Copies of this chain bind each other. A is one copy, B any other.
Amino acid sequence: MSESRTVNKPDLSRLLDPAAIAIVGASTNPKSISGQPLAHMLACSFEGKLYPVNPKRAEVQGVKAYPDVLSLPGPCDAAVIAVGREHVPEVLEQCGQAGIPYAVILTAGFSETHTESGAEMQYRLEAAIVKSGVRVVGPNCVGVMNVIKRAYMAFGGALSDKTLRPGPLAIVSQSGGFGQSMMTFANAHGVGSNYVVSCGNEADLSFFDFAHDFLNRDEVKMIATYMEATTEGKQLRQLGRHALEVGKPILMLKVGNGGAGRRAANSHTGKLTADYTLFRTTFREGGFIEVSDLDEMADVARLVMGGKYPKGRNLGILTGSGGWGVIMAEQSEKNGLHLPNTSPEHQAKLHALKSTFSSVENPIDMMANYGDQYKAIECVMDDPAFDMFLVRSAAGPDVGIWADRFIQTAAKTDKPMIINWSSIPTRDVDVREKLERAGYLCANYAGRAARAAAIFADFALKQDRFRKGAHQVTRPIEQLFLDIKTGSGPCSERASKSYVERYGVPVTNEALLSLKAVLALNKCPVPFPVAVKLASPDIPHKTEADAVRLNINSIDDLKRAAQEVFDSGHRYAPAARIDGISIQEMSSGVEVIIGAVSDPQFGPYVMVGLGGVLTEVLGDVVHRFAPVGLDMAREMLGDLRGRDILKGVRGSPPADIDALVDVIVRVSWLIKDHADVISEIDINPLFVRPAGKGVVAADALIVPFNKTGSIESSRSKS
């Protein structure tokens, strides 16, 4: 998957670190959109050359102006374009003639307007991009910023912020305003940004071009991004892989999660996969940290910048107020962190301090003795019970002394320490900033601190698993080439079962006979009790057609059932082709649905749910991209809300989880190996018998793609 990353990626270095910038349409009004880029760069002393382009002026904002880009006195790396939309294509062509390799188009009014004239302008713009060879950011963007060099090829109130400092963050945003808010808030939390890019409507350079470029830059340690939409699921997965490879997280704020535009589904699995599910599965798979708002984003960025990663989810809490200890503990557990107790040896060390403790157990409560808190931290920071710490800060006049001692002490461990900051946001700001500069997150609210710690730990553990090679999974079976035809509708139950069986999925014992043959039977070909189903390639959902009878126990009932399902099927779909009557052994066990889809946008994935109401009503299903290994298949089961059913409820024995895990893995390889021909697979129900007794698929449905070589299937090969 990672090969395509290294090819065809534009070299963005002249754009991101320009020595000379033209501002086409530069206005004399420093507050207007077209006046702002020049004004901001003058205000913050950009050290490169600035060429305002304005045919009506000899100078703009005190800087010599030029009538067009062809008249510039020297080489130029990037042009900021802020002219009326009808002039943009012409300006772009001139940039090409002038040898300017990059343009940042602030002008709006293109395809993003969803108007006819906008579409026409977009068409003309794209033609000019091709003709000129100039690589374009935007249009309809707020621009590109290099904060290190103060190259602000952009507009927006956030640019006049004199406190902006460069830092390890790079921002790529599909909303310009929100991207600048990210920069402002991260900066206010002590996390500076090196680069900020607003993608606009992505006529040329895309979100992905920037994100990959940033991941490869030494000065960038993490990316923050606001994403509204992409149809490039596979590119997003590649980006996530790239992030894990370089060990730099992408803080992802994804919105628009109800978005339309995904294909209607043929199978249950398809229906059970909501739009957002595959994004979430992608974020979970790759080096993403999903955040839901700016506070979370800034907090996690602060932790990444601190550079200390937890080895697990075990949290130690140090407090001076019992109440705060309880709140921090409850919020931490609510967010999935564990609170083990202080080990006895370290409890003894705390007692030896001769300070006053309300508790040396976790949460460790020193009451108001904050003067000694650093000693307590030093005592417990090497306690192997804890992977990280949450520390309630002092407040009031002594907070500065507390902070100095905290910084000296915490520097001695590589376990992350998060501060639950007790001053109100507008007080003791200098002390808080000192702590932030030293690498610590100061979170005012216990919930915020706990949430940041938890999602940061999730990333740290994911990164760790990746380093250990958890993504390299072993094939349980040689690749088979099943002869599945596209374009002729769903495979029959019998054919579907034979395909899944060849990949090692046990299926029910069954006989397929004509109705006439069934009615003439003296003895059932399969031991009672049996299920009787109409077999028709045109009726993939037999239950809906009332074409299934279960628990048949006698030959008379069998014949009656065969006639009934035949008649029902005929009523449901009079023109349906009938293969016959299928007589199958009745199975029992925990009902599970296993599905798989070859998604045109994201690639093949596998899904598991518990049968019946849990899946149908609550949508309690879990997805992972294929193929999955045994560990991940097991993790999928652990993510089901109804997972306890597999452990046995109300006296039922524990289910054969090993056999179930094995089938999930096999189905994931089946879809992976046939992603170009199989659109969807449903195994529903799969019965999971008691431990040691295996599983059996009572029904299966394989839906091939509609056409060989369709856009979907060819895409899924790429």
Contacts and interface: CB of A to CB of B under 8 A. Distances in A.
Nearest to A33: B368
A295 B613 contact: no
Contact of A292 (B228, B447, B616, B649): B447
B323 A175 contact: yes
A486 B425 CA distance: 59
A157 interface: yes
A147 to B, nearest CB: 16
Interface string A292-326: 11110000000000000000000000001111101
Contacts of A641: 618
Contacts of A650: 543-544, 616
Contacts of A444: 294-295
Contacts of A705: none
A429 B226 CA distance: 27
A649 B613 contact: yes
A331 B292 contact: yes
A159 B191 CA distance: 33
Given A188-B424, A322-B175, A293 B613 contact: no
A383 interface: no
A445 B253 CA distance: 13
Contacts of A86: none
Among A174, A327, A429, which residue has the most Cβ atoms of chain B within 10 A? Answer: A327
Contacts of A278: none
Nearest to A256: B326
Nearest to A422: B181
A173 interface: yes
Contact of A323 (B160, B173, B651): B173
A250 B387 CA distance: 38
A364 interface: no
Interface in A398-427: 422, 424-427
A589 interface: no
A320 B645 contact: no
A538 interface: no
A570 interface: no
Given A185-B424, A395-B157, A618-B641, A293 B446 contact: yes
A614 B327 CA distance: 30
A376 B396 CA distance: 44
Contacts of A185: 424
B330 A255 contact: yes
B295 A616 contact: no
A396 B321 contact: no
A31 to B, nearest CB: 10
Interface string A153-194: 000011010000000000001111111010011001000000
Contacts of A175: 321-324, 326
Contact of A327 (B160, B255, B395, B642): B255
A647 B429 CA distance: 56
Classify chain A's interface size: 35 or more
Contacts of A256: 326, 330
Contacts of A216: none
A426 B424 contact: no
A447 B293 contact: yes
Contacts of A158: 395
A621 to B, nearest CB: 14
A427 B327 CA distance: 29
A617 interface: yes
Given A447-B295, A618-B641, A327 B178 contact: yes
Contacts of A228: 323, 326
Contact of A178 (B253, B323, B618, B651): B323
Contacts of A188: 424-427
A174 B324 CA distance: 12
Query: Which of A174, A256, A326, A617 is most buried by chain B, counting CB atoms within 10 A of its CB?
Result: A617
Given A396-B157, A422-B181, A295 B445 contact: yes
Nearest to A644: B617
Contacts of A427: 188
A422 B181 CA distance: 8
Interface in A600-627: 610, 612-614, 616-618
Contacts of A324: 175, 177-178, 181
Contacts of A560: none
Nearest to A174: B323
A396 B160 contact: yes
A427 B543 CA distance: 63
A257 interface: yes
A317 to B, nearest CB: 13
A448 interface: yes
Interface string A638-661: 000110110001110000000000
19 contacts: A157-B396, A158-B395, A177-B322, A178-B321, A184-B424, A188-B424, A228-B326, A255-B330, A257-B330, A293-B331, A293-B447, A294-B444, A426-B426, A543-B650, A544-B651, A612-B613, A613-B613, A618-B618, A618-B642
Top 10 closest A-B pairs, CB basis?
Answer: A175-B323, A178-B323, A177-B321, A157-B396, A188-B424, A425-B425, A293-B447, A255-B326, A295-B445, A293-B445
